[in-house]
Amino acid sequence: MKMPLRYNIINLLLKNLEGMTPKALHDILDPIYIGEKQCSIEAIDHHLMSMKGVGLVKIKDAVEDDNGNLDVTYVMTDYGATRAEKYIPEYLVMSVQV
């Protein structure tokens, strides 16, 4: 069974310490959650905003693309990594696709 979408986002952020944008996360996650409307760039950004509020992730960088859209790079915080290891450790050792 696939893991919940948010756990996969956390997993990817933990593996990519330089940070990821919602678009980069979507590019990897979309083929995994194929056909699931929940896996959109907007929804992924909403997950990241929600996790930012409680301190699990933070904004590393933000740039405006050619179309004037905001492209924000999020990274996992130490607090977020510690909590993920505490509450969802079994999901962190899995490969992203599972």
Partner 1 sequence: MDVKKIVHQKNLRYAKKGLLWAFAAGMLYGVTPTLQTLSLALDPLKTASLVSLLLVPLIMACLQDTSSGIAVLMKNIQAGKSKEYIRILRSKPGKFVVLASFFGGPLAMTTVMASVYLAGPIYPIAISACFPAIGAVLSRIVLKEKISINAWIGIVLCIIGALTISWMPPTGGNYPNFYLGLLMAFITAVAWALENIIATLGMDFVDPELAIGIREFTSGGLTFLILPVLAGIGMKSYGVLFQTLPTMGYVYIALAGLFAGASYFYYYKAANSCGASRSMALNVTYTISAMIIGVVFLGSDITLLLVIGTLTLLIGAMLVAGKPAELLTLRDID
Which residues contact partner 1 by CB under 8 A? 1-7, 10, 36-39, 43, 47, 49-56, 59, 62-64, 70, 72, 77, 79, 83-84, 87-88, 90-91
Question: How far apart are alpha carbons 65 and 81 in whole angstroms?
Answer: 29
In the complex, what is the shortest distance from the CB of residue 11 to partner 1, in angstroms, rounded to a whole number? 11
DSSP-derived 3-state class of residue 5: helix
In the complex, what is the shortest distance from the CB of residue 62 to partner 1, in angstroms, rounded to a whole number? 5
In the complex, what is the shortest distance from the CB of residue 50 to partner 1, in angstroms, rounded to a whole number? 6
**CB-nearer residue toward partner 1: 10 or 20:** 10
